[in-house]
């Protein structure tokens, strides 16, 4: 079979290793078996003899471009590729016009649009007519969540297929293919090889690029350990965009690990975000949020600790301040958990919106004027400190609303004590205000 990725006619030795090792058939694609395996979604489409428009969503280096080109080859569609970074409306019009001419000659076009999320809303809308009349089959590639970045109209006409990051086994398979192509082993010891796989961060192209750098750097007979690997290649930064999915995924993972009382997982996600360059003060603010949302009054110290850690970081700066935040992460993860106040507050807000501006009962209203006194403001109010047990048991809700219970503390942490008090006050209220 001829090479579908011939690199513009360059000799093999001048082409990057990752380009030379691109799969030539779908069954050679590594790490995306859920799409390209015998029962994969794309394999089933090809077997049916018909392709529909698709959005390929996944991290860099997972094979989106390669798979799109292979699809066109498998289905005998003309392959056209553009990048949303470098293309505008005029470029799209040329592509569409060419595709219409091609269709009149009996051949359909598979248009691969890289970074499709970079097109604005009106540019995305321009695809709709040519998708609907069959002029093109659109395959758009994006690293961003299509639900947030693409028009609903475009998404309704295309199937979203998710590409997964390469796992360690998948990266190892790519390295073995590279060794076969180079006809020599990668000059790394076992630990360094594992480190290189970690540096790739799920990106197959990055793994092969790093391997190629190692081969270039190694002298005859030289084998690098982990320190040697670090010296000859630049450590690749984690795939993490502080304004996009990586940011939201990791802060969600941190929050849920704290909520789930797993300090080890929480520390791991905290460390990943710090290592990727997240603003530690943002993390400090989120820890304060976790303290009030997921721990609440089960451990009133949690808010104190979280806020103190945030202030400590603000005072110390990096890198010393991160340790204060790490202390707070562990404290919150190991604290008793309660969302009792969180749930109660939401219920109270809902009731406040539903019932509107009801007047509080007159006996708890002050009467600073004679007229208000004549209207009964303050009549019958009992000063709790003058009552037995400093508790009068009066009803403080608006009369039209009736008494409600929003807060139901669980039997955990300090809220056990709160529940005892509430139960005792409820008993006194029934005894002193029988109805």
Is residue 267 located within the same domain as residue 371?
no
Determine how many CB atoms are found less than 10 A away from the CB of residue 407. Answer: 17
pLDDT recorded at residue 188: 95
Is residue 44 located within the same domain as residue 151?
yes
Is residue 371 located within the same domain as residue 327?
no
Q: Band the pLDDT of 163: cuts 50, 70, 90.
A: very high
Specify if 319 maps to a domain. yes
How many Å apart are CA 115 and CA 293, to the nearest integer? 37
Q: Model-level pTM? A: 0.68
Contact (Cβ atoms closer than 8 angstroms) between residue 84 and residue 91 = no
Tokens of 373: 């006194």
Evaluate if residue 240 carries a pLDDT over 80: no
How many Å apart are CA 169 and CA 106, to the nearest integer? 43
Q: Band the pLDDT of 244: cuts 50, 70, 90.
A: low
Is residue 90 located within the same domain as residue 43?
yes
CATH number for the domain including 420?
1.10.3710
Tokens of 375: 């209207």
Count CA atoms within 13 Å of residue 167 on its CB side: 4
- Of 15 and 181, the one with more pLDDT: 181
Partnered with residue 56 across adjacent β-strands are: 141, 161
Is residue 144 located within the same domain as residue 216?
no
Is residue 72 located within the same domain as residue 130?
yes
Specify if 5 maps to a domain. no
For 38, 137, 291, 314, 318, the CA distances from 305, given in Å and listed in that order, are: 54, 56, 9, 14, 19
How many Å apart are CA 412 and CA 390, to the nearest integer? 26
Is residue 311 located within the same domain as residue 371?
no
Query: What is the pLDDT of the chain when averaged over all its residues?
Result: 90
- Of 2 and 370, the one with more pLDDT: 370
CATH number for the domain including 84?
3.40.50.300
How many Å apart are CA 240 and CA 237, to the nearest integer? 8
pLDDT recorded at residue 5: 55
How many Å apart are CA 424 and CA 427, to the nearest integer? 5
Q: For residue 57, what is the DSSP state?
A: E
How many Å apart are CA 318 and CA 281, to the nearest integer? 11
Specify if 345 maps to a domain. no
Domain span at residue 197?
168-177+184-232
Q: For residue 188, what is the DSSP state?
A: B
The predicted model gives 7-33 an average pLDDT of: 81
* Segment of 8-17, 123-132, 312-321 carrying the highest mean pLDDT: 123-132
Among 301, 334, 367, give the residue marking a domain's end: 334
pLDDT recorded at residue 12: 64
Is residue 172 located within the same domain as residue 157?
no
pLDDT recorded at residue 9: 55
CATH number for the domain including 319?
1.20.272.10
Taking only the tens place, the pLDDT of each residue in 185-227 is: 999 999 899 889 988 888 999 999 999 999 999 999 999 998 8
Specify if 18 maps to a domain. no
Sheet strands side by side (includes 109-114) = 78-83, 109-114, 136-142, 54-57, 159-162
Evaluate if residue 6 carries a pLDDT over 60: no
Is residue 37 located within the same domain as residue 150?
yes
Is residue 43 located within the same domain as residue 135?
yes
Among 107, 129, 162, give the residue marking a domain's end: 162
| DSSP string of 107-162, one letter each residue | --EEEEEETGGGS-HHHHHTHHHHHHTTSEEEEEEESS-HHHHS-HHHHHTSEEEE
Is residue 297 located within the same domain as residue 199?
no
Tokens of 36: 């390209």
Specify if 349 maps to a domain. no
Specify if 198 maps to a domain. yes
Contact (Cβ atoms closer than 8 angstroms) between residue 360 and residue 381 = no
Specify if 14 maps to a domain. no
Report how many domains make up the chain: 4
Evaluate if residue 432 carries a pLDDT over 50: yes
Is residue 224 located within the same domain as residue 259?
no
Specify if 21 maps to a domain. no
The predicted model gives 269-291 an average pLDDT of: 91
pLDDT recorded at residue 160: 95
The percentage of the chain sitting over the pLDDT mark of 90, rounded to a whole number, equals: 65
Taking only the tens place, the pLDDT of each residue in 143-154 is: 988 988 999 999
Tokens of 336: 């008793």
Tokens of 141: 């590639």
Contact (Cβ atoms closer than 8 angstroms) between residue 21 and residue 208 = yes
Tokens of 306: 């979280």
pLDDT recorded at residue 435: 63
How many Å apart are CA 78 and CA 176, to the nearest integer? 33
Taking only the tens place, the pLDDT of each residue in 72-107 is: 999 999 999 999 999 888 999 999 999 999 999 989
């Amino acid at each position: 079979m001829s090479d579908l990725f011939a690199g513009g006619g360059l000799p093999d030795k001048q082409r990057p290793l990752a380009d030379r090792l691109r799969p030539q058939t779908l069954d050679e694609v590594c790490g995306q078996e859920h799409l390209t395996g015998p029962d994969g979604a794309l394999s089933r489409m090809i077997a049916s003899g018909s392709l529909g428009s698709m959005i390929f969503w996944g991290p860099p280096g997972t094979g989106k471009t390669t798979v799109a080109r292979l699809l066109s080859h498998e289905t005998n569609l003309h392959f056209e590729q553009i990048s949303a970074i470098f293309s505008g409306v005029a470029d799209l019009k040329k592509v569409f016009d060419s595709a219409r001419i091609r269709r009149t000659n009996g051949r359909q076009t598979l248009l691969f649009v890289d970074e499709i999320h970079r097109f604005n809303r009106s540019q995305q809308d321009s695809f709709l007519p040519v998708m609907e009349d069959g002029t093109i089959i659109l395959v758009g590639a994006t690293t961003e969540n299509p639900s947030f970045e693409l028009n609903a109209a475009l998404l309704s006409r295309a199937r979203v297929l998710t590409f997964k990051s390469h796992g360690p086994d998948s990266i190892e398979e790519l390295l073995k293919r590279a060794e076969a192509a180079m006809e020599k082993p990668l000059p790394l010891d076992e630990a360094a090889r594992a480190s290189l796989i970690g540096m790739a961060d799920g990106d197959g192209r990055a793994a092969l690029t790093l391997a190629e750098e190692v081969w270039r750097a190694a002298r005859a007979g030289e084998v690098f350990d982990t320190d040697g690997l670090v010296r000859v290649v630049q450590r690749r930064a984690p795939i993490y965009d502080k304004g996009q999915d990586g940011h939201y995924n990791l802060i969600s993972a941190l929050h849920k690990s704290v909520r789930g009382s797993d300090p080890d997982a929480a520390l791991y996600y905290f460390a990943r975000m710090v290592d990727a360059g997240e603003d530690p003060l943002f993390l400090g603010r989120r820890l304060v949020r976790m303290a009030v949302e997921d721990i609440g009054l089960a451990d009133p110290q949690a808010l104190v600790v979280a806020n103190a850690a945030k202030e400590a970081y603000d005072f110390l700066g990096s890198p010393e301040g991160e340790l204060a935040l790490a202390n707070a992460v562990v404290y919150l993860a190991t604290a008793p958990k309660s969302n009792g106040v969180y749930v109660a507050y939401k219920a109270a807000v809902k009731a406040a919106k539903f019932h509107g501006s009801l007047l509080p009962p007159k006996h708890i209203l002050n009467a600073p004027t004679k007229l208000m006194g004549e209207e009964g403001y303050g009549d019958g109010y009992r000063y709790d400190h003058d009552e037995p047990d400093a508790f009068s048991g009066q009803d403080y809700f608006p009369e039209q609303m009736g008494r409600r219970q929003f807060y139901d503390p669980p039997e955990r942490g300090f809220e056990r004590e709160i529940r005892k008090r509430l139960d005792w006050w409820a008993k006194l209220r029934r005894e002193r205000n029988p109805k």
